A and B are shown apart, each in its own frame.
Chain A
Amino acid sequence: MQSTDWIVITAGLGALAWVNWYFFLAQRGVAATVATTGTAGMQEVHIAVHGGYEPAIVRVAAGKPVRLIFDRQETSSCSEEVVFPSFGVRKFLPAFQTTTLEVTPPLAGTYEFTCGMGMLHGKLVAE
């Protein structure tokens, strides 16, 4: 083996590590957004949908209803639905419109939400 081989192998391992770090581990570092409390005690959060959810992690209080306002800023069919498997909610998000849905996390815990095909991910963290 020559030095070029070692360079390629090292670079490959580095790329491998970076890909897996970026997509699997770095996500955890994403700061969570705390839902604001609107009128009538309703927790509210605006989530932009554009190739992902922004914010992707939302902190809410458990046992209280949360109003999620999704603003889908794209036509890509990937994000046309949002799914909350634990609440049995699957909602169509019309492009360039806001769609409101309400869920109540019964207990403290993490409730995932995804796009219709499970490619985009977000979390409600109830505390």
Chain B
Amino acid sequence: MTTATTEKIVIPVSGMTCAACQSRVQRTLSKMPGVADASVNLMMGNATIDYDPGAVNPGTLVETIRSTGYGAELPVVGQSTFDEQAARDEATSAEFSELRRKAIVSGIAGAIAMLVSMTTMGGMTRGPITWFLLALTVAVMTWAGRHFYTRAWAAFRHHSASMDTLVAVGTGAAFIYSVIATVAPGFFLRGGVQPDVYYEAVIIIIALILTGNAFEARAKRQTSAALRALAHLQPKTARVVRGSDEVDIPINDVKAADVVVVRPGERIPVDGEVISGTSAVDESMLTGESLPVKKATGARVIGGTINGTGAFRYHATTLGADSVLAQIVKLMRDAQGSRAPIQALADRVSAVFVPVVMSLAIVTFVIWFVSVHASGGLAGAAAVRGFATAVAVLIIACPCAMGLAVPTAVMVATGRGAEMGILIKGGEALQRAGDVDTVVLDKTGTITEGKPTVTDVVSVPGASRQANDLLALVASVEASSEHPLADAIVRHAKELELTVPSVEGFESLTGRGATGTVNGQVVAVGNERLMTEQHVDTAPLRADVERLSAEAKTAIYVAVDGALAGVLAVADPVRSTSREAIEHMRSIGLHVVMLTGDNQQTADAIAAVAGVERVVAGVLPEGKVAEIKRLQAEGRVVAMVGDGINDGPALVQADIGIAIGTGTDVAVEAADVALMRGDLHGVGQAIELSRRTMRTMKQNLFWAFVYNVIGIPIAAGALYPAFGLLLSPILASAAMAFSSVSVVSNSLRLRRARFT
């Protein structure tokens, strides 16, 4: 019994393989003091426990489960898809506001320091003003810049170095130098150098880098905006029928098969199947389809989409982590976190970057010292020059831009894809899709609807029977058949709301058709062979049958009482959007190939309608893989488009597998890209998006490398001999802050990418 004092927890349990395992865990838990109720679900692999929090804690429950020999772990806070996203968002927005606050305050401090130091330039470098600057710098370093030093130290202890190390060493060196000049100016004067201080530089460098970090945090937040928008689609409550009432309950309490009520304009709370009512639902947020989708009894609705003007009730089906929305969010999050192979070089460079930059700074110091000294400068002046350039080198180097170049592009691109109903499963998929030059389309369910439909009903010339009556007769017989074509006929009769009489003496004749008696009439439905067997003359409709075959339709003969009555044609119609989508693919330079198991004639007919130039007919399901291998052997980078059901191996063999969706089965394992919409437009769009993304990644990497390759030598004074140009550490910090922001901003441009 659950009482007011107990709490409920669901703990995932792993390793249970049988009912005995289940009962063992359940028995052990139930016997525990403080446990009110425990139920262990073998299928779900979890234990639901009502416990008294005063007597037992979740950790003990986990230990108890583990003591039975099975794995268990606490559901970590932020484990669920939506919660984890929320935790991330909270962390990034907290980071942003903290950085912004620190950047603003240290910016003001920097401005004050600058003004104060200018007033001291006229010689009054000593005295209280310098001490004031020292105090201000210490305040900024310990408050706003504190994390640079603590992190740099923590990294140092682990023999690693990060951007913080560069900032900490650079500003720390400038600070210590200034402190010596303040406390013991004589030390410098003896070396023949004015004891200048760099306090304002330290403060401004910290302020600029914090500003850059704040912008970067905000931009990084924007890179996952699409994902966040998706996570926010999930309503918090659902209105379900309980007894005779409609009650609002939290979304997590909805159970499978609950009846959910949706009113006009409301967001649909969970996935389900409509049981009554009709409406049109706006699914654009998930599928990118702009037109509302009609929903009637039996239709599937997706949680998070918006109901139009109708009202309806539906049975809840998939819930929680299994819901379409949660799966999309999870898939997107995994994709956004994945790495693209192009990043490997950046990774190798950033692993050694910081120590290398520190080495360069040391070399810079030594070279400047020796050359200034050799050209007659005093040792003190030589040290000052060497010191300033070494600090500039440390400050200008930016490993961050390299680290951000690829991941931010992957994040923005996958988010942009999701907005268009294109789910790209990671950086590697994006990279390969960008190289695709050939698209192989499976015919059935891809170019075509994948559902045979009655297209023609032809009665024999001079027949008194109406076409609909003929159809009703055939539907009566076929209602008992399991043939896929029979289903098309029965469905067609239903759609026309025909009364279908019952059949007697039904007989299915494999490979030929079926026979039965309807209203006293003997009806035979089938192919030419059946007609021959039944001694039916098919000559009167031969011309029609030939025409239908040429149109890639399957002709089905109907004989009533031994005489030919008519012909039905069934075909898998080409999707209305296929032709335009294929034209688009060709316009972006893709070679389009259609694969089908049909004979050449049918295949050519479909190809002509769809606008495909190259057809490979008569391919058995297992032949698809060989066909793709053949194309790959020609040096082509192949994308295979299929429905993910029959063509799994082909999707895997292809360089990129694209599963064309029904809007509900998101997680087609074999596919690298899943299209939420059931049309081919997404194929060209996905490839265009990938190409754009690859361009962005290359630009980012190029910029990040070039920035450092050019920036570090300039900071080191490479331009000094020729142009007398030296970079002050303050300018170096501005350049550094700008470089990572520019990389993220370039990635964000993908958000606005438009595709036809």
Report whether A78 and B362 are in contact in the complex, using a CB–CB cutoff of 8 Å: no
Interface pair B339/A121, CB less than 8 Å apart = no
Chain A, residues 16-37, CB within 8 Å of chain B (1/0): the string is 1001101110110010000000
| Contact between B366 and A9, CB atoms less than 8 A apart | yes
Inside 8 A of B71's CB, which chain A residues have their CB? 40, 42
> A104 interface residue, CB < 8 Å from B?
no
Chain B residues 343 to 376 lying within 8 A of chain A, measured CB to CB, are: 346-347, 350-352, 354-355, 358-359, 362-363, 365-366, 369-370, 373-374
Contact flags A49-90 to B (C-beta < 8 A → 1, else 0): 011111010000000000100000011111011010100101
* Residues of B112-152 contacting chain A, CB below 8 A: 147, 150-152
Q: For residue A2, which residues in chain B have a CB less than 8 angstroms away from its CB?
A: 373
Residue B66, interface by CB 8 Å: yes
- A15 at the B interface (CB under 8 A): yes
Q: Is there contact, CB below 8 Å, between B158 and A56? A: yes
Complex CA distance for A94 and B346, rounded to whole angstroms: 26
**Min C-beta distance of A124 to chain B, whole Å:** 16
A120 beta carbon closer than 8 Å to chain B: yes
Contacts of A20 in B (CB 8 A): 355, 359
Q: Choose the segment among B83-91, B471-479, B614-622 that binds chain A (4+ C-beta atoms closer than 8 Å).
A: B83-91
Partner of B162, one of A24, A42, A98, A119: A119
Tell me the smallest distance from the CB of A18 to a CB of chain B, in Å.
10
- Given contact pairs A85-B339, A92-B88, A120 touches B76 in the complex (Cβ within 8 A): no
Give how many B residues have a beta carbon under 8 Å from the other chain's beta carbons. Answer: 62
A100 with B155, Cβ < 8 A, contacts A118-B350, A118-B351 known: no
By secondary structure, the B interface counts as: helix
Q: Are A19 and B358 in touch, CB under 8 angstroms?
A: yes
Contact at A23–B403, with CB atoms within 8 Å?
no
- Report the separation of the CA atoms of residues A9 and B369 in the bound assembly, to the nearest whole angstrom: 9
Residue B157 lies at the interface, judged by CB distance under 8 Å to chain A: yes
B256 within 8 A of A: no
Q: Within the complex, what minimum Cβ distance (angstroms) separates B461 from chain A?
A: 66
In the complex, what residues of B have CB within 8 A of residue A51's CB?
Answer: 150-158
Q: Give CA–CA (A2, B379) in the complex, Å.
A: 10
Q: Which of B541-590 contact A (CB under 8 A)?
A: none
Summed over the interface, the residue pairs from A and B with CB atoms below 8 Å come to a total of 142
Q: Does chain A have a CB within 8 A of B170?
A: no
Question: Is there an interface contact between B158 and A120, defined as CB atoms closer than 8 Å?
Answer: yes
Q: Is residue B480 within 8 Å, beta carbon to beta carbon, of the partner chain? A: no
Closest beta carbon of chain A to B681's beta carbon, Å: 30
Residue in chain B with minimal CB distance to A112: B351
Minimum CB–CB distance for B725 against chain A, Å: 24
Looking at A8, A16, A56, A119, which has the most chain B CB atoms within 10 Å of its CB? A119
Residue of A nearest to B357 (CB): A19
Residue of B nearest to A25 (CB): B159
Let me know if B264 is at the binding interface, CB within 8 A: no
Name the A residues within 8 Å of B159 (CB-CB). 22-23, 26-27, 30
Q: Judge whether A50 and B161 touch: CB under 8 Å.
A: no
CA separation between A51 and B91, bound complex, in Å?
17
- Are the C-beta atoms of A12 and B362 separated by less than 8 Å? yes
Which B56-83 residues sit within 8 Å CB-CB of chain A? 63, 66-67, 69-71, 73, 76-78
Q: Are A92 and B355 in contact (CB under 8 A)?
A: no
User: How close is A42's CB to chain B, nearest CB, in angstroms?
Assistant: 7
A-B pairs, 4 with minimum CB distance: A51-B154, A52-B158, A12-B366, A117-B403
Interface residues of B (CB under 8 A from A): 15, 63, 66-67, 69-71, 73, 76-78, 84, 87-88, 91-92, 94-95, 147, 150-164, 217, 334, 337-339, 346-347, 350-352, 354-355, 358-359, 362-363, 365-366, 369-370, 373-374, 379, 399-400, 403-404, 407
Sample 28 A-B pairs with CB under 8 A, ordered by A number.
A1-B370, A12-B362, A12-B363, A19-B359, A20-B355, A20-B359, A23-B161, A30-B159, A39-B66, A51-B155, A52-B157, A53-B158, A54-B158, A77-B91, A78-B162, A78-B164, A83-B339, A90-B337, A92-B87, A94-B77, A94-B87, A94-B91, A95-B91, A97-B77, A118-B350, A119-B162, A119-B354, A119-B403
- Additional A-B contact list (18), CB under 8 Å, known A52-B160, A74-B154, A119-B162: A5-B370, A9-B366, A16-B363, A39-B67, A52-B154, A53-B158, A74-B151, A75-B94, A76-B164, A81-B337, A92-B87, A97-B76, A116-B337, A117-B404, A118-B346, A118-B350, A120-B158, A121-B351
